[in-house]
Structure 1
Amino acid sequence: MSKGRGINVDVTEPEKVWRPGSRDDGDVSPTGGEFPRDGEETVGFWRVATKTADDNHAERIAEGIPNPFRFHPIKMLTITAKSTSRLSSYTHILLPAIPAGIVMWYTSRDKSPMLVFIFNFIAMIPSGNLLAFGSGELQHRLPKIWGASLEIFTGAIVEIIICLILLVDKQFDVVRAALLGSMFANLLLISGACFLAGGIAWKEQKIAPYVIEVSSAALLVSAVGTVAPSLFFQTIHYRKDVNEHRAEMRVLRVSRVVSIGLFFSYLCFLFFQLHTHSSSFHRVLERAESVYIGRKQYRKKLSVLEAIFISTIGLVCVSFCAYFLVREIPGIVEEKEVSELFMGLILVPLIEKTSEHLTALNQAWDNQIDLAIYHCLGSTIQTALLVTPLIVMVGWAMNLDMDLNFQLFVALSLLFAILVVGNFMRDGKTHWLKGIFLLMIYYVLAVAAFNDPNEKKEAWGKSVREGVEAAHAAHASAANEERRRLFKFL
């Protein structure tokens, strides 16, 4: 990517080799001017950009936006096949898994449940990508801030669908693990992969202070609100005056009330980002656009009608594949000896937001680290403040005992993960070594989750222990009664 006024908008590939010294390509605008630094006055969107250059840039973007009511099947398929990045377009190879998973559900779910699970697991990737791409095309008709928020919200749709199906199926432990697993995947796996990919392509990248400050504060608040009911249960569970049933009812009540507060916090977060401090967020988006320009901005785009059609197809496919996938989880856990915690914490979150993960990786590779981090941390905040309380409140409305009583191990791990990520971003720079460290932490959590014993498998041992304890208690009681009778006789 060249620097200065001679920037070539047709160059879309980032550097694939490391160069010594610092890079400051992030301050170059697509129109040839320099992006405004802190404390400097601006003319238009960029400091030294001319009106003609800015207008030319806007016109080139507008050339790819068709009439909103156009519906051209061939053009729609061609644009969808190209997608917004190479990573996203590669997922179209997995499209045959969608009909294969649906057919196997109706023909082989009794004979080959593992194959049904695998095919629908794979089919979730292209299905979610279709939904994300279709909704992403709608944002070209919206302001930048609303468009970016819509793109983040689309990733939550798949997560909400999977969690609701698990909730109706009363797989509460898997729901809880999936919620925290989504946060871990965004915080550690995808953030680490973005740091690594961006560090390989650009050696070192700078993060906007706005992204660090707002995201860190919201992450800490959301983490405390999410895991507080778990810590509350651990506190009262071992009190002698509180039995297990009473403790569970108390934590259920706390979870429901806390969920209302978390949801209100999410509304305040949106109001802050989209209204009161929207100018700061807008500058972050403009800076990201100024860093990288090319076919992603000037490419042909879907019309509103075509985008809605693609989004509907993606939503239908996601719903069917998610339902078939979730219904096979209990059988896989019991018959194949897969840890229930590993299933919910690692496997399910991997395919919930695949398209969003690919988008973040592509942005980090293109030196748009602000957008990549916003995708990762914004999705985590959305899961904690929107998806999690929404699932609890839906369970409340359906009279289901869905609470926020997470395992103590994963609850504390979430707090530690947020502290680690916040510390890594504190200096405003990212590089490949930080990415390796984040991936290592995620690897440790995955190993621990894989070796977590299922409660059902330990039921026999638990019953034996309870029987032995009951026998010892009966023997001690009989011995005491015998001594009492002996003393009475004497």
Structure 2
Amino acid sequence: MSKDREDVETGSVTPPEKAWRRSTVGDISPTQTEFPREQYEEEHHHNGFWRVGSKQHKAHENHAQKIAEGIPPPFRFNPIKIVMITGRHTSKLSSLTHILLPAIPAGLILWYHARRTNPLPVFIFNFIAIIPAGNLLSFGSGELQHRLPKTIGATLEIFTGAIVEIIVCVILLHLKQYDVVRAALLGSMFANLLLVTGACFLAGGIAYREQKIASYVGDISSAALLVSAVGMVSPSLFFQTIHPRIDISESGADLKVLYVSRVVSIGLIVAYFCFLFFQLHTHSTGYHHVLERAESIYVGRKQYREKLSVLEAIFVALLGLVFVCFCAYFLVREIEFVVEDQGFPELFMGLILVPLVEKFGEHLTALNQAWDNQLDLALSHCLGGSIQTALFVAPLIVLVGWGLGHEMDLNFELFIALSLLLAILVVGNFVRDGKTNWLKGMFLLMVYYVIAVAAYNDPELRRHYFGEGLVGEGGEGGIKPGE
């Protein structure tokens, strides 16, 4: 019996996944088949829309048993186990972030002893410290998945990534830095859609000639992203429409946009819960099979390793949450200094820098999954995170601001609002055919690079720092203030 046939019958790889392994079949794609159609249909039956082999039941049972062997009693609390298991992490890349843990106490010490004399080191260390702190929060919540259904566990993991984003935005909202909040919200979507998705396509394209995307992931995600983009940018386009009119004042236009943003935010949150109900209840089978198939492609230490108990996982998640809150507060308090004294544009700070650290651990996990040929899992993090930001986080921040008496709206700058629409169209077009390669990843990274360069050179925000050199005082080539 050949090794490939033996792999199939022992359950180490199922026939559909076998075609994904370059080490055994070269560059054969999952749409092609090296199994005779008649033989394949005799040995397999349909379950949902993925084929599940009748001869694979024993292998599936062994797989579930191995996973269960690593799950401890729910109320175990062993500090040594916590350190050892957390240090290994589920992702090789994410585990490397533990070397940044000393930045957490360093950021705390600098805040209390050097924030008045040396605010820049305070910003830098707390900027770095959010990465391992958020990673602890993500890992702790991820460990709870093993006692939950797959779809609920995956949704919980994506939601955990939004906690850091919500904390940062609420602190910025409290400090009335509305422009940075708006830029950070869209910046999180740009990071997920372009930077991380592009990096996943690139990493997967280096490891494999071509990777496949489940139609469920591409179709549902593209539809949800388009709807969320319309809801996000409509208030901005509405403002651009009514602002030039002579029958309405500037303050009147602002009030109209604020009202529209609040009403739209309620509708977006309703749409988000409808999306969750669709994914977790009425059409949960499709999402479940996507997750199950993606996990079965790579069965390494991240599945069969020893895991945290429920009590230990909650402790690690709460510890990460506390660190995130402190580091985010210290970071946000120094943004004003970095913008005013260091010459960083406010748009670049909110659109590029802040979103980079909000979900850094989640981004590394997605990148590791793409390298392991689990592209559907990686995209569920990237695209799912973008949908969650647009349909839940952004409207939640608007409603929280409403409750606290802040005039937070969805009136984004026209440049980034239109850039979001274009980014979603580009990503949707790339996933439509269900195939990815490294070149698509490079294209997405290039789009992100273009947006970052434009944000850094925004003249409206850099005028204050470069003064007459950029704006002039009515001289040649200058622009008079107010024009």
TM-score between both structures, scaled by the size of structure 2: 0.89
SS in 2 for 1:403: coil
1:40 is displaced (CA, Å) by: 3.3
Give runs of ≥4 in structure 1 deviating > 4 Å: 7-11, 14-20, 25-28, 34-39, 41-45, 454-465
Which residue identity lines up with residue 280 of structure 1 in the other structure? G
**Alpha-carbon distance in 1 for matches of 2:24, 2:240:** 49
**Alpha-carbon distance in 2 for matches of 1:325, 1:283:** 41
2:371 paired with 1:370: no
Contact 1:162–1:323 (8 Å) recurs in 2: yes
2:279 paired with 1:270: no
Contact 1:18–1:203 (8 Å) recurs in 2: no
Which residue identity lines up with residue 157 of structure 1 in the other structure? I
Instruction: Tell me what 2:316 maps to.
Output: 310
Contact 1:18–1:200 (8 Å) recurs in 2: no
CA offsets per residue over residues 149-187 of structure 1, 9 Å max, x none?
000000000000000000000000000000000000000
**Alpha-carbon distance in 2 for matches of 1:405, 1:51:** 54
**Alpha-carbon distance in 2 for matches of 1:37, 1:423:** 36
**Alpha-carbon distance in 2 for matches of 1:367, 1:406:** 37
Q: Which of these residues, 177, 180, 183, is aligned with residue 171 of structure 1?
A: 177
1:198 is displaced (CA, Å) by: 0.4
Contact 1:16–1:201 (8 Å) recurs in 2: no
Instruction: Tell me what 2:395 maps to.
Output: 389
1:231 is displaced (CA, Å) by: 0.3
- Report the count of equivalent residues: 461
Instruction: Tell me what 1:222 maps to.
Output: 228
The percent of aligned pairs where both chains have the same amino acid is: 65
Instruction: Tell me what 1:59 maps to.
Output: 65
- Gaps (5+ residues) in structure 1? 29-33, 471-490
**Alpha-carbon distance in 1 for matches of 2:41, 2:183:** 43
Which residue identity lines up with residue 430 of structure 1 in the other structure? T
Q: Which of these residues, 214, 217, 225, is aligned with residue 211 of structure 1?
A: 217
**Alpha-carbon distance in 2 for matches of 1:351, 1:35:** 48
Larger CA Rg, structure 1 vs 2: 1
Contact 2:45–2:53 (8 Å) recurs in 1: no
**Alpha-carbon distance in 2 for matches of 1:285, 1:35:** 23
Instruction: Tell me what 1:409 maps to.
Output: 415
Which residue identity lines up with residue 264 of structure 1 in the other structure? V
CA offsets per residue over residues 236-288 of structure 1, 9 Å max, x none?
11111111111101100000000000000001000000000001101101110
Instruction: Tell me what 2:37 maps to.
Output: none
Contact 1:83–1:133 (8 Å) recurs in 2: yes
Contact 2:48–2:286 (8 Å) recurs in 1: no
Q: Which of these residues, 109, 116, 120, is aligned with residue 114 of structure 1?
A: 120
1:23 is displaced (CA, Å) by: 3.9
Q: Which of these residues, 418, 423, 426, is aligned with residue 420 of structure 1?
A: 426
- Structure 1 residues 69 and 456: alpha-carbon distance in aligned structure 2, compared to 1, 3 A threshold: same
Instruction: Tell me what 2:16 maps to.
Output: none
Instruction: Tell me what 1:6 maps to.
Output: 7
Q: Which of these residues, 81, 85, 90, is aligned with residue 79 of structure 1?
A: 85
- Structure 1 residues 196 and 36: alpha-carbon distance in aligned structure 2, compared to 1, 3 A threshold: farther
Which residue identity lines up with residue 312 of structure 1 in the other structure? L
Contact 2:472–2:480 (8 Å) recurs in 1: no
**Alpha-carbon distance in 1 for matches of 2:43, 2:270:** 35
Which residue identity lines up with residue 327 of structure 1 in the other structure? R
Q: Which of these residues, 149, 160, 185, is aligned with residue 155 of structure 2?
A: 149
Contact 2:75–2:309 (8 Å) recurs in 1: yes
**Alpha-carbon distance in 2 for matches of 1:19, 1:136:** 33
Instruction: Tell me what 1:292 maps to.
Output: 298
TM-score between both structures, scaled by the size of structure 1: 0.88
SS in 1 for 2:389: helix
SS in 1 for 2:117: coil
2:144 paired with 1:129: no
SS in 2 for 1:46: strand
CA offsets per residue over residues 316-375 of structure 1, 9 Å max, x none?
000000000000001110001100000000000000001110111011001011111111
**Alpha-carbon distance in 1 for matches of 2:57, 2:199:** 38
Contact 1:192–1:435 (8 Å) recurs in 2: yes
Contact 2:44–2:53 (8 Å) recurs in 1: no
Instruction: Tell me what 1:191 maps to.
Output: 197
Contact 2:139–2:317 (8 Å) recurs in 1: yes
- Structure 1 residues 26 and 76: alpha-carbon distance in aligned structure 2, compared to 1, 3 A threshold: farther
- Structure 1 residues 279 and 331: alpha-carbon distance in aligned structure 2, compared to 1, 3 A threshold: same
